[in-house]
Chain A
Amino acid sequence: KAGVTQTPRYLIKTRGQQVTLSCSPISGHRSVSWYQQTPGQGLQFLFEYFSETQRNKGNFPGRFSGRQFSNSRSEMNVSTLELGDSALYLCASSLSGSRETQYFGPGTRLLVL
């Protein structure tokens, strides 16, 4: 079974721009969760999508948004990028919920200049 895939793997943007990251979960998994990882803050939960609906949300500003498609693929969007948004963005999938064992993708490394 193929694992979780994320595209792109690396991205460089400038302040004020917006960015869209993509995640394809493991086949059959319906829940996709997104995390931001920075050296000082560890893994911070952004949100979870299940059946095309946002089911859980972490403490991030509204500039961070996401969506999920009918095939369970998910996208995450960050608008009006700030320098502090530079991080590794990880997507994880599970069968039916973010409380379950999650399987992570390789991440997208975003650098904001």
Chain B
Amino acid sequence: GQQLNQSPQSMFIQEGEDVSMNCTSSSIFNTWLWYKQDPGEGPVLLIALYKAGELTSNGRLTAQFGITRKDSFLNISASIPSDVGIYFCAGPERYGNKLVFGAGTILRVKS
């Protein structure tokens, strides 16, 4: 089945720094979703992307749908302690009936 590879696996950054993470696949996705999971909670949808090349912002978060449709990027500007958590990318299987999730990027922020 289709797989999503997220990198980096984890990040430990200084408060105030910008963060970049990405999600790649060997196959095409028509939708990219980015979720954030706080410790002990369920994932919360941050940004949804539906068109190749699309760039969408949500506050300090910006995500892009890669033009090849095989990747997506999430950037967080001026990180703060509450940005800590696991960030997942996801997309619908092309020939299946469910969402595929990446393994997640763990973000830790040092204040």
Contacts and interface: CB of A to CB of B under 8 A. Distances in A.
B63 interface: no
Given A42-B103, A42-B104, A43-B88, A99 B97 contact: yes
Name the residue among B41, B43, B44, B102 with the largest chain A CB count within 10 angstroms: B43
A49 to B, nearest CB: 12
Interface string B62-93: 00000000000000000000000000100011
B60 interface: no
Given A42-B103, A99-B92, A101-B48, A4 B97 contact: no
- 5 closest A-B pairs by beta carbon, nearest first, are A104-B42, A99-B92, A98-B98, A43-B101, A42-B103
Interface of B: 31, 33, 35, 40-45, 48, 88, 92-93, 96-99, 101-104
26 contacts: A6-B42, A42-B101, A42-B103, A42-B104, A43-B43, A43-B88, A43-B101, A45-B98, A48-B98, A55-B97, A56-B98, A88-B40, A99-B96, A99-B97, A99-B98, A100-B92, A101-B31, A101-B33, A101-B45, A101-B48, A102-B99, A104-B43, A105-B42, A107-B40, A107-B41, A107-B42
